[in-house]
Amino acid sequence: MATPAPDKIIYSMMRVSKFYGTKQVLKDISISYFYGAKIGVIGLNGSGKSSLLRIFAGVDTEFNGQAVLSPGYTIGMLEQEPHLDESKTVRQIVEEGVAEIMGFLAEFNRINERFAEPLSDDEMTKLIEQQGQVQEKLDHLGAWDLDSRLDLAMDALRCPSGETPVKVLSGGEKRRVALCRLLLQKPDILLLDEPTNHLDAETVAWLEEKLQQTLHNQAEAAKIPASTPQLVKSEEERRLASFAGAIVQETVSQIEDRAAKRRTQTAPAGASP
């Protein structure tokens, strides 16, 4: 994760359009956001919400226009149907979220194993120095309680047991495992495509708290289902409203006011709004 810089624009999208064949789903989208922004993408089915997030994430590069991520920043995305390696177990997938720590732990273990080998004084000195350097990195990353942290994250998201093969998981279980891995990665920009799908109320509450506590400095964009708008709720936070392929920035109150006006306009004569 990059060191946050105040008032720094970390992502810009300029006049982006997206077509599927002859069908246009996004038209001339331009947006820039700062580190720490919270954005919700709201719209009708088929209005281009998932397409927009995939362009944000760099997964989809087949579009017109320009999208620029500032150097040194990372993006992570939870897709509606995550693609997981079916040759692995649940625990192995979750551990991918802490790949850097796992790599240093493996290196630390290899160094320790070498102490059992015949070594010259110079080799021993160099090995001790190398061990100290790796241990310092592990201390900085808080690696020594990694197992308990992974267990806690998996339990909070109701993930299947770590030994479970990915190939037997349901779609909902795969989303939970993928979300667990993503949160452990701690990307600078977190993109969530309907993150509350297949989550019970208790897990949704945990996810809200997790986002507030550990991701408050990260840029976050979520495609929010109409039934779960609470993930991006405050008046100060900006949303992206997606309608008929066009994206505009609005506050929560502006979106709600327009929805109220639409209900009033479509209500039968004499009916209460």
**pLDDT tens by residue, 179-207:** 999 989 988 888 888 877 777 777 777 77
The yes-or-no verdict on residue 57 having pLDDT over 80 is yes
pLDDT of residue 218: 54
- The pLDDT of 3-17, averaged and rounded, is 80
Say what the pLDDT of residue 234 is.
46
Query: What would the pLDDT profile of 76-100 be if each residue is shown by its tens digit?
Result: 998 888 999 999 999 999 999 999 9
Confidence of residue 157 (pLDDT cuts 50, 70, 90): confident
Residue 212 has pLDDT above 60, yes or no: yes
Backbone phi and psi for residue 194, each to the nearest 5 degrees, phi listed first: 50, 65
Contacts of 74 (CB under 8 A, 6+ apart): 1, 2, 185, 187, 188, 189
Task: Classify burial at 178, counting beta carbons within 10 Å of its beta carbon; exposed 0-12, middle 13-18, buried 19 or more.
Answer: buried
Q: What pLDDT is recorded for position 19?
A: 93
How far is 160 from 170, CA to CA, in rounded Å? 10
Whole-number Å distance between alpha carbons of 176 and 159: 6
Tell whether the model's pLDDT for residue 152 goes beyond 80.
yes
- Higher confidence at residue 236 or residue 151? 151
The Cα 20–Cα 18 span in angstroms is 7
CA distances, 238 to each of 63, 71, 73 (Å):
25, 24, 21
Within the chain, all domains assigned CATH 3.40.50.300 are found at: 9-84+187-266
**pLDDT, mean over the chain:** 80
| Mean pLDDT (whole number) for 148-154 | 91
Over residues 66-73, the mean pLDDT reads: 92
Instruction: Choose the CATH number for 9-84+187-266 among 3.40.50.2300, 3.40.50.2000, 3.40.50.300, 3.40.50.720.
Output: 3.40.50.300
